[in-house]
Amino acid sequence: MGDDNISEIKGKDFLRQIINEHIKTGKYDGKVITRFPPEPNGYLHIGHAKSICINFGIAKDYPGGICHLRMDDSDPTKESYEYVNSIKQDVKWIGFDWGDKLFFASDYFEKLYEYAEFLIKKGKAYVCSLSESEIREYRGTVTEPGKPSPYRNRSVEENLDLFRRMKAGEFKDSEHVLRAKIDMSNPNMKMRDPLLYRIRHVEHYRQGNKWCIYPLYDFTHCLSDAMEGITHSICTLEFENNRELYDWILDECEIKEPRPHQYEFARLNINYTVMSKRRLLELVEKKYVSGWDDPRMPTISGLRRRGVTPEALRSFCENAGIAKANSIVDIAQLEYSIRDDLNKKVPRVLAVLRPLKIVIENYSEHHEEMLDASYYPHDVPLEGARKVPFSREIYIEKDDFMENPSKGFYRLSPGEEVRLRHAYIIKCERVIKNNAGEIIELRCSYDPTTKSGEENSEKKVKGIIHWVSIPHSQNVEVRLYDRLFNVEHPETIDDGFNEDSFKILSNCYVEPAVAKSSPGSRFQFERLGYFYLDPIPYQECRLVFNRIVTLRDSWTKISAEKPEKFEKTEKQIKPQPQEKSEFDMSELPLEVKTKLDKYLKNYDIHKEEALTIAKDETLADFYEQTLSEYNNPKGVAGIIAGEMARELKEKQPKQLAFTPKELGELVKLIDDEVISVKIAREVFSFMIKGEGKPSEIVEKRGLKQITDPSELGIVIDTVIKANPENVEAYKAGKTKLFGFFTGQVMKESGGRAKPELLNELLKKKLN
């Protein structure tokens, strides 16, 4: 394959563009060797899935490309074979194989120790005897330089002696550490004499008690890459500041070119969930979930147990794209990818989750018949048909009957008709209730001339409902899973935990074809969602189905169009997540109440934002100072109560790398439509690092919002050209795909497309 073809076919993102250039220049003699280096201290989550797809996917794209699987196991306090095995299983399930390229950082301990002594002998590392808290104190802040450790000028001989005694086990945990000798005034705090080794008298799961000193990540990772001959060390954006240290260690250890270089991409962040291993472990340990593979968890094992396919996960990761700036992906995009995948491959069947009995009085008690039914709709190119038994007694969904129907309800009600899927039209004649007034049974009649598929079955009714035959159906258990949190950005596991994220329905019924299926089978229960026959039995002789995903997004608001244009589904029946309740001002301190009252009356800002700012003196002062620089109370409140409030949980005000004036400038950029609110969050993340004023960051990183119709039109044309099948589907009536195209354009534009202009141009071009 020629260089031009490589650029044309594979230059989809900045990482592949870099690799293409290296191939052209022969930097690594045409080699492409990547690695996926997880720490075996927990189960992998969906964010790791993106990294797996990038590293293994890039290696797969290039002739002779290789991707190593390396366990970065240099912390003996948290690692185990359980996690190693789960990682291997997850990578293979997603669809990738490392062959014979499985490595462990712990196998390099001897060589890493030699490199550490080499740095000591060069005068580039020293043993420090400060405590952990003293090391933090000496490091300084983002605005103040650090000060050197009093042990920084120990002689090479003394450092070697202490380090060897550390290895021999003479000292207690944390009594000494080995540090690199770099620069305590470096603007990058990672370069202020970082730790290289620490003492841990803990048995290692692979090395046993051979070692009591362990290398830290920054020292281990780059040298492991070098020892394995990695060409492109691809990691997530939080390691951007580590790159300088990565290069320093390789340089000082005299690793010659061509050697590995680090490249960062934006990690995958998803709303309505937590993505840190620490939070996920907390969910498991505090019994919020049943384990790492709980189907609600964003872990790969949880998604697998829920019934998500590896194809859907790979598609989601591909659609999320590879960007240089952090952003948050809507979980609805994951759900869309799952639906889109399952829609093409799983059979439609009949099931009833909340049964209501119907007796068809004019259907013979002794008669049964087998009705023809297809597994797939006509527009899906898969063959499949089965016979569905029909009898006098059937179950329908309780929600498909309403005694006093509201306007737009086109299902069953007294005196009205509805079609049974694959069967006949029935009419409700009587409603049977118990002594408590609860409906327990319906008596209906059927029209024998309306059998589905026959020439004389042209009688029209507005509603079609699903059902199962009572004598032939099998009782099963269905487990309904939903999002773990009902707040978009949970900060703790108690922050908006969704108590309704797991429900068990025991009295459910499925048609015979489903009851005979093998564990691991997937189905669309018509009008209900996609379900997975759990391969792990909960009870003997009991089938358990996990809901993979609903048929449509049940968390978005119902369309404002007239209700008669929409079929009433679970989406309309399920209660929507509730907004936070009003706060009680009577319990607040007088000073806070005074500020809160001022904000609400004079500034007219959101109540929750006003309370967040009023309760924190630092935020309140910063808010007032910013307003004196740029008077937009709502815009400033949004940034301060959101991004800045989170930042101050870990920093003191004097450590902030920006001023009230610069924060006001950021809000003005939003107001002037130079950047969007979403991009403003990215700019803020760079302001935190002290990378300059907002306007400088926007200019330097090319983050200006695209407001030129011709420029945005080119981006839209690119997306439309790349998705011809979805364009045809949209034009054929699948208007929900508009959201897909919007997301793709946003991804292609790096999130810079002006939303209003995007919607306007996209509608014109699609129509």
Q: Which residues are catalytic?
A: 39, 267, 277
Q: Please identify which residue in the block is written with the tokens 């004079």.
A: 602
Burial readout 342-353 (b: 16 or more C-beta within 10 A, e: otherwise): beeebbbbbbbb
- Phi and psi based region of residue 454 (left: phi greater than 0; alpha: psi -120 to 50; beta: remaining): beta
Question: Within 13 Å and on the Cβ side, how many CA atoms surround 751?
Answer: 24
Q: At what angle do helices 737-748 and 709-722 cross, to 10 degrees?
A: 120
- Rounded CA separation 269/266 (Å): 9
Query: Is 198 within 8 Å of 177 (Cβ atoms)?
Result: yes
Query: Is 167 within 8 Å of 176 (Cβ atoms)?
Result: no
Single-letter amino acid code for the residue at 94: I
Q: Please identify which residue in the block is written with the tokens 């281990």.
A: 220
DSSP strand E in 131-186: where?
A: 177-180
Query: Is 684 within 8 Å of 643 (Cβ atoms)?
Result: yes
Q: What is the 3-state secondary structure (H, E, C) of 633-691?
A: HHHHHHHHHHHHHHHCCCCCHHHCCCCHHHHHHHHHHHHCCCCCHHHHHHHHHHHHCCC
Q: Please identify which residue in the block is written with the tokens 């369309």.
A: 559
Burial of 759 (0-12, 13-18, 19+ CB in 10 A): middle
Q: Phi, psi at residue 4, to the nearest 5°?
A: -65, -40
Query: Is 478 within 8 Å of 547 (Cβ atoms)?
Result: yes
Query: Is 23 within 8 Å of 223 (Cβ atoms)?
Result: no
Per-residue CA distances from 154 to 136, 168, 176, 590 (Å): 20, 20, 13, 56
Beta bridge partners of 17: none
- Rounded CA separation 687/142 (Å): 11
Which run of H or of E encompasses 618?
A: helix 617-629
Query: Is 544 within 8 Å of 537 (Cβ atoms)?
Result: yes
